[in-house]
Structure 1
Amino acid sequence: METIAMQSADIPWLVGGDFNTVRDLSEICGVSRDIRMAMEDFNTCIQNTGLLPLPMQGEWYTWHNCSAGPRNLWKRLDRMLINDRWMAQFPTSYYSSLTARTSDHSPMVLSGDIQQQLGGMFRFDNYLALSPEFIPSVQQVWQHNIIGTPMYAVTRKLKALKPIFREQRRKKGDLSHNVQLAKGFLEMAQVLVTSNRQDELFLQLEHCCRVVLAKAAKLEQIMLQQRSKMQWMKGDPGAVINEFVMYYQNLLGGERRRDMIDLRFLRPWARHILSEDDVNSLVLPFTHTDVKQAIFDIAEDKAPGPDGYSSGFFKAAWPIIGQE
């Protein structure tokens, strides 16, 4: 951080996250080990980097060890710090420490001088790819001709698909009602805990609400996926058989290309050596098959980038978008 501070002396700089330590003993509630040395190091670092605390609203303690017994512990581990250039450019900025949900840390939201009303962070849910509307929606957007570099055209089309997928997800019904109820129960339990942090009954209630919320969110995702699969398989007995086969293929793994190397050709004094064919294969131009294999090797729930689209989207839409 001190190295970055020297490089950021003339530009606005904000540092935020879980620093895993506190600045003062007032930022601890409960029995903790001796952290005076870590606390001193942290304060020295802040002083040497010339950082200042960004104004904060909301929860004071940002971390809880999720213990419902006498060992329960709260700390203020998460914060945002700024330099003087940030303060000069964004004088009214601040951050809010929100009530924790399923994590043991509180989310932090940065608010600046200009508030942009966005539609929330987009996240593609893989169950949408099983809907009959999925392929026609992608085809409708992908047929447009966009002037620009190939990567620019792809990103513009992906952006145009986001409101369509948002609307499809909204039409799936009220399956998220239980999740919203669980969030409400957790908020009420956390209000009780805040009023009396030493009451073990309140702590146990808050812990149970966290578990219920996590399970409800997971169950919601599973139900949506299964509902889409059943709609897709309805009226097609062969699809049921294929579903079982695909399940066990994914479970046991697919075919993998293996290049056999004859160890007899290795020099006795060499630990590792590549054959001439192996060397040539490393510099071959990549093919469409290589690109497809790289994409399809990624787990469906993984996101290759920060745009909210999972790998499952690219796999399901590959017949349309793969060439581009």
Structure 2
Amino acid sequence: MTCHFVGWNCYTGSANEGRILLIWQANIVSVEVLQGSDQFIHAYVKELGSSKELCLSFVYGRNTIEERLQLWQDLSGLSFPVNPWLMAGDFNVVFYFNDQLGGRTVAAMEMVDTQRWRSIGLVDELSTSGSHYTWTNKQAAEARIYSKLDRIFKNEAWLDFFPQSEAYVNWDMISDHCFFIIKTITALNLGIKPFRFFNMWADHEGFRETVLQNWTKPIKAHGLERIMKKLMRLKHVLRQFYRRAIGDVVHKYTVAKENYQSSQCQLQKDPHSTDLQREERSIFETFSSQSRYYDSYLRQKRKINWLRIGDDNTAYFHACLKQRRATNRITSFINDAGQINEKFEDVVAHFLNHFRSIMGSHSTASAPIQRECFIHGGILSLDQQLRLMKPFTKKDVEAAMFSINSIKSPAPDRYGSSFFKVMWKDLGEEISDAILGFFDHGMLPDELNSVTLSLIPKVETPTKAVEYRPIACCNTL
């Protein structure tokens, strides 16, 4: 091997009987094999000339459940000189029922060991794009079988070092398995972050006064246009209020937490000191308030409905945050020639062009309405028809506003329903009049008629815009 590939090193080992071949470029990384068997190689890797070091595991599972039992046991007891860990390979078993297409039905007993190993919580799957299935028997017609036997897993520490990493999966021209390309992507600076109202701002002293002082200033507009212009003007004031009165919520919470822990340690040294007890209570009050702000911030930013006080201390909680950040990204697409395009401008143009072509265009009914069909179906009573025609009231507007979840994703206006709920006593009358006015004259400002598209994958490993389903996030009003 080293004779034919100058500058490359390799390892296969007698334990795995040549089933796994590990190759690396010697002038880029150093590799130390830590553990191995006939089904896996576990190695420590360091990038030469830098501080980057990680653990990599490569798997080639045996064909039977009995033979793979040792594999799951070995993978559960690996040693790690450093924390970041990535594991990839052919496990020779499916993990879920939808991992096979064709052939006999997957039996639940085949996945017992895989699910037991996954339940330990050592790893999660790395985000992938491309083919869902990774192996085929290449037989003809009804005998053809596709399975997902190859997988890539990473631990939580991997996302700390490589938060933008993902894998591309595609079919090889010779092998019956897909190949994987694992890539780490450098995050781009996309400019200034757009304004976003956070619910916990309303809990700070001076918030209401700041809003009303700006809201009551005169503006040349009427109805909903007047409301939208006031909201736009208010954004700049709220940005300044955030910087001046609130600051970095995460940092303040961390400092308050450390101060409280320190005060508890000090009090242990002299538990009967009234001064230390008084100081500890004061610090605890500060910590409690910062905890509420931090809790509200996380609920809204990460859409974590199950969050409870103290959950932020658990490894599972932080793993959920990192996993959500890792999966909520689109960094590439596959063009018509089957090539991966990772250029930011091209990715943006690809998605914009696709959705512009299917949205906002006029369409006509494919067939005329057959009015005689209404006779045979359910028909509204006269009372029901009158109720549908009944004008909306201010109470209806208020009920609709307060029915919206306070942590719903904000749309182009970047104001969630919580802002309007908190300020309803002062602004509700004016906002209700503007909304009810729309039903009289039908005039809707362009800014209010815009939406933010949230893309939901239609398939497990989407590769292009057509494989995403757009969900429109409307303005709160």
More helix by share: 1
Instruction: Point out the structure with the larger strand share.
Output: 2
Name the TM-score, length of structure 2 as normaliser: 0.28
> Rg bigger for which structure?
2
Q: Which of structures 1 and 2 has the larger relative contact order (alpha carbons within 8 angstroms, sep 6+)? A: 1
